[in-house]
Amino acid sequence: MRFARSVGQAIGANLAIISLAHALSPCTQISDSYDFVIIGGGQAGLTVGGRLAEDTNHTVLVLEAGENGDAYRERIDTPAYSYFDSLWTTPLNWKYYTVPQPNANDREIYWPRGKTLGGSSAINGLYMTRPGELEINAWKDLLGDMEGADNWSWDSFYAAMKKSENFTGSSDAIAEEADIHWNTSNHGLEGPIQASYPGYTFPQVGYWSQSLESIGIAISENMYDGENWGAEVSTSCINPSNWTRSYSRTGYLDPLPDNGNYDVLANAYVTRIVFDNSSSADNLTATSVEYTTDNGTTISSVNVTKEVILSAGSVGSPAVLLYSGVGPKDVLSDAGIDLVSELPGVGQHLQDHFSATVTWDTDSETAGTIYYDDGADKDNELFLSYIDSAVAYVNSTALYGGNVSSMESSILASIDQYAPNTTYDSGVIAGYKAICNITAKNIFNGPTGIIELLLMNSDSNGDIGITAALQHPYSHGRIYINSSNPLDYPVIDPNYLYNPADDEVLLQGIKMARSVGGASPLSNNLTSETAPGSSIQSDDDLISWIRGAASTEFHPSSSCAMLPKDLGGVVDANLLVYGLANVRVVDASVPPIALSTHLMASTYGVAEQAANIIRGFYNGVPLATSTASGSESDDGDSSDGSSTATNSSHKSTSTGSDSAPSNNAPKDKTGLLSSICMFLVLGFGLSM
C-alpha cells in the first residue's frame, strides 16, 4: 500500500544537474519497503543515510518532516546570513519553547531546531569545535564492560570525527589578522564536510587570543586532538572554494552517485514506529514506520526489513519513541499512549549549554555595523563568509585557581539532592549520579574546559559581546509528551539552574567574560558595558541577571543516552534501543555527557561510527528479497553503471504537501518577551 504522494528530484552522479531553482521533478514515489528506514534527514540522519547507501546491498529511505530547503538555499549556503537573514523566521525551524523555567524567572526559553534536509546543520552558526579526550573516555567508562564500549573510546571516536572532515587552512593574511593557529595533523583531510575559516575578518578577532593570553588562557594549537582547553579561532564548516556552508546535505547527500538504492523523502513527518506484536515482548521487532505528508489527514506506512534508525535529534528522537509507546510508563499513561515497551530513560538525562552574554559599546567597525549600517562590504562575497568563531574553553584551574578541589567537593555533595524528581525509576537517578560523579571527578577536576567563551561581533546594534556558556550542567532535564497526537510538540524541560552548582560555574564564567573584555588589546576597542552594566557587580546581582537573561547555546543532548540500562540508558554501545530488536538511535541525543564543544563535530562522529557499526553488523548478510518492490525509475541517468541494487528507486529528494505541524508550544505573550526574542533573533545568542 502506498499513500505517499510526492514530487521528487532525482539527483544523478553528475553534480551539474543539481539546479537549485528547478530541483523538483514530479511524481517520484517511494517504495513499499526498505532495509533501513531513517527517521529524520537532519545532520546525523543524512550522514548515516549516505554511508549506509554506499553499500549497494542495502536499500535506504530517509523520512524528513521538514521541507527540502531548496526555496531557501541561498540563505542556507551563505555563512553570514545565519546572523543577518536567519532561517529562524522560516518553516525550516521547529520554533520550540521550553516550559517555564523556575530558576530562570519562569521564562519559556526559545529553542530553534532545524526542520529541513540537513536539520540543525542547515540553520546553525557553523562553529566546528571538538570534544576532549577526557570527556569521550568518561562516556566510554560509563558503559563499563558492555560489548562494543571500545567503539566510544577517544581513539575510535576521534577517527570517526576526522573521517567526516576535510580541513583547509586560511590565507596567510587572514591567519595573521585573526591570529589563527592550526595543526593540520589533527584534522581530517578527505572527508565530505569542509572545515575552514572565513575569508574576511576583523582586528578584534585577532585581539581575542592576545587578551585571553594576557589573563593566562593560552592559545591552543591542539584543540582538535582531544586537548579541548585554551583560546582559539575555531574552524567553521565553510567550503573555502566558494564560501558556502558545508552541512550534511552538501557533504553526504548532494554529491552521492545514484546507485538506485537510496530515497530521501521530505515533508514526511513520522508519527510512529510499528512493531510486530508476535515478536518477543522484551525484544520487539519494528516492521514499519508511519508518517504523514498532509499534517495527519492521511497516514502512510513503509515497511522495514532490517532496521529503523532514529535520527530525529535530541527533541525528536525521544518524542518518536514516546509516541510509539516506548518510554517511561507514567509519561505514556498520562499522555494516553498504550505502553509497548517500558523504558524509563527515554527523554531523561537531557543536558543543555545555558549561556549569557556581556556586551559593550564600541567605536570599531563590526560585522553588525557593516551589515546593518549598509557598509561598503555588505554584499561582498568574502564579507558574507564572515562568521564569529573566536572561542575559549576555560577550565576549572583558570576559573577557581587553588579552590578547584573544594568546588569539586561541593559539586559531589550536591548530587544526591539535585537528582531529578521526574522519574519513578531508580536507574534514571543512578544514571544522573553516575554522570555527575564522573563529570566532577574526571572532567571538572582536570584540564577540560568547563565554560566556553565566545566573541560576538555580529550584533544588530553594533555592540561587541562575550558569551559565557556552561558546558557540563549538573542540572538535568527531560523531554516528554503530554498528548497522544504525534503532531503535537513534545514538552521540553531542560531544568536550567536547578542545581546551584550551575549558577556558580556560570557566574564565574560571566566574571571571566568581563575580565577578557577588560584585558588589552580588546579592551582598547570597548567603551561602556551595556549588559549587564556596571551597576551589576555583586554575585547575587549577577546571578539575578543571569536568571533573567541567560538562554540556550542550542546544544541539547543526551535525551536517548547511551548508558547501561540500569543507569537509565536508552541505547547500548551498538546504539540499539533496549527492548527493541532492530531500532537504533543515531544523533546528538546519544552521548550521555554534555560535551565541552559545539555539537556538530561530535554528531558527525556519532553518525560515522554508527555507520561503521551497522555496516560491520550486516557485512555479508544477503539482501532480503522482500525489498524488490521498487518504484519506477524516472531519471534514467544513472550513468555510472553501478545501479545493481534490487530496488530501482533512486536517490531523490521529494516534497509532499507543504504542511506545518501543530505547534502547541506557548508563544511569547508579552512585549518584553517578544523583544527578548527579537534581540535573540537579530543579535547575540544567535547561531552557535
Ligand X SMILES: *[C@@H]1O[C@H](CO)[C@@H](O)[C@H](O)[C@H]1NC(C)=O
Q: Is 605 in the site for ligand FAD (CB under 6 A)?
A: no
CA gap 75, 687 in Å, rounded:
13
- Please say whether the beta carbons of 286 and 5 come within 8 A: no
Residue 555 falls in the annotated catalytic set? yes
> Terminus-to-terminus CA distance in the chain, angstroms?
43
Nearest-CA neighbor of 258 among 555, 528, 640? 640
Using the rule CB under 6 A, give the single segment among 188-196, 311-319, 365-373, 472-480 that binds ligand FAD.
311-319
Beta strand segments in 105-205, E: 110-111, 127-128, 165-167, 193-195
Q: Is 244 in the site for ligand X (CB under 6 A)?
A: yes
Q: Is 622 in the site for ligand X (CB under 6 A)?
A: yes
Q: Give start and end residues of each alpha helix (H) in 261-366.
A: 313-323, 329-335
Using the rule CB under 6 A, give the single segment among 161-169, 190-198, 257-265, 314-322 that binds ligand FAD.
314-322
Q: Is 298 in the site for ligand X (CB under 6 A)?
A: no
Could you say which of 174, 322, 370, 438 contacts ligand X (CB under 6 A)?
Answer: 438
CA gap 49, 47 in Å, rounded:
5
Q: Which of residues 109-128 bind ligand X (CB under 6 A)?
A: none
Could you say which of 50, 79, 125, 368 contacts ligand FAD (CB under 6 A)?
Answer: 125
**Binding string to ligand FAD for residues 535 to 564, with x set by CB under 6 A, is what?**
-------------------xx---------
Using the rule CB under 6 A, give the single segment among 83-91, 145-153, 500-508, 596-604 that binds ligand X.
145-153
Q: Is 253 in the site for ligand FAD (CB under 6 A)?
A: no
DSSP one-letter code for 249:
H
Q: Is 131 in the site for ligand FAD (CB under 6 A)?
A: no
- Which residues have C-beta within 8 Å of that of residue 176, sequence separation ≥ 6? 206
Could you say which of 259, 348, 458, 603 contacts ligand FAD (CB under 6 A)?
Answer: 603
Q: How does 77-112 read in b/e, with b if 16+ C-beta sit within 10 Å? A: bbbbbbbbbbbbebbbbbbbbbbebebbeebbbbbb
CA gap 551, 197 in Å, rounded:
27
Q: Is 438 in the site for ligand FAD (CB under 6 A)?
A: no
Q: Is 329 in the site for ligand X (CB under 6 A)?
A: no
Measure the CA angle with vertex 159, ends 253 and 243; round to 5°. Answer: 45
115 interface partner picked from ligand FAD, ligand X, none, CB below 5 to 8 A per type:
ligand FAD
Q: Is 91 in the site for ligand X (CB under 6 A)?
A: no
Place of cell 555510472: 640
Q: Is 121 in the site for ligand FAD (CB under 6 A)?
A: yes
Place of cell 558503559: 143
Least distance between ligand X and beta carbon 680 (Å): 25
Measure the CA angle with vertex 298, ends 295 and 303; round to 5°. Answer: 110
Q: What is the chain's alpha carbon radius of gyration, rounded to the nearest angstrom?
A: 24
Beta strand segments in 147-192, E: 165-167
Query: 349, 353, 476, 555: which is the annotated catalytic residue?
Result: 555
555 interface partner picked from ligand X, ligand FAD, none, CB below 5 to 8 A per type:
ligand FAD
Is 308 labeled as ligand-binding?
A: no
Nearest-CA neighbor of 686 among 497, 465, 440? 465
385 interface partner picked from ligand FAD, ligand X, none, CB below 5 to 8 A per type:
none
Could you say which of 482, 485, 544, 657 contacts ligand X (CB under 6 A)?
Answer: 485
Q: Is 177 in the site for ligand X (CB under 6 A)?
A: no
Using the rule CB under 6 A, give the single segment among 113-121, 413-421, 422-430, 510-518 that binds ligand FAD.
113-121
- Please say whether the beta carbons of 475 and 496 come within 8 A: yes
| C-alpha cell belonging to residue 249 | 546535505
316 interface partner picked from ligand X, ligand FAD, none, CB below 5 to 8 A per type:
ligand FAD
| Dihedral sign (CA 124, 125, 126, 129) | negative
Q: Is 320 in the site for ligand FAD (CB under 6 A)?
A: yes
Using the rule CB under 6 A, give the single segment among 202-210, 313-321, 524-532, 642-650 that binds ligand FAD.
313-321
Q: Is 42 in the site for ligand FAD (CB under 6 A)?
A: yes
Q: Is 401 in the site for ligand X (CB under 6 A)?
A: no
581 interface partner picked from ligand X, ligand FAD, none, CB below 5 to 8 A per type:
ligand X
Q: Is 687 in the site for ligand FAD (CB under 6 A)?
A: yes
CA gap 670, 236 in Å, rounded:
36
Give how many residues touch ligand X by CB under 6 A: 65
625 interface partner picked from ligand X, ligand FAD, none, CB below 5 to 8 A per type:
none
Q: Is 616 in the site for ligand X (CB under 6 A)?
A: yes
Q: Is 41 in the site for ligand FAD (CB under 6 A)?
A: yes
Nearest-CA neighbor of 565 among 592, 588, 587, 589? 592
Per residue, the 3-state secondary structure of 547-613, as one string, reads: HHHCEECCCCECCCCECCHHHCCCECCCCEECCECCEEECCCCCCCCCCCCCCHHHHHHHHHHHHHH
CA gap 82, 88 in Å, rounded:
9
Could you say which of 380, 437, 482, 643 contacts ligand X (CB under 6 A)?
Answer: 437
Q: Which amino acid is located at 32 in the chain?
A: D
Q: Is 326 in the site for ligand FAD (CB under 6 A)?
A: no
65 interface partner picked from ligand FAD, ligand X, none, CB below 5 to 8 A per type:
ligand FAD
Using the rule CB under 6 A, give the single segment among 5-13, 116-124, 249-257, 331-339 that binds ligand FAD.
116-124
- Please say whether the beta carbons of 168 and 142 come within 8 A: no
185 interface partner picked from ligand X, ligand FAD, none, CB below 5 to 8 A per type:
ligand X
Active-site positions read: 555, 598
Which residues carry a binding-site annotation? 270
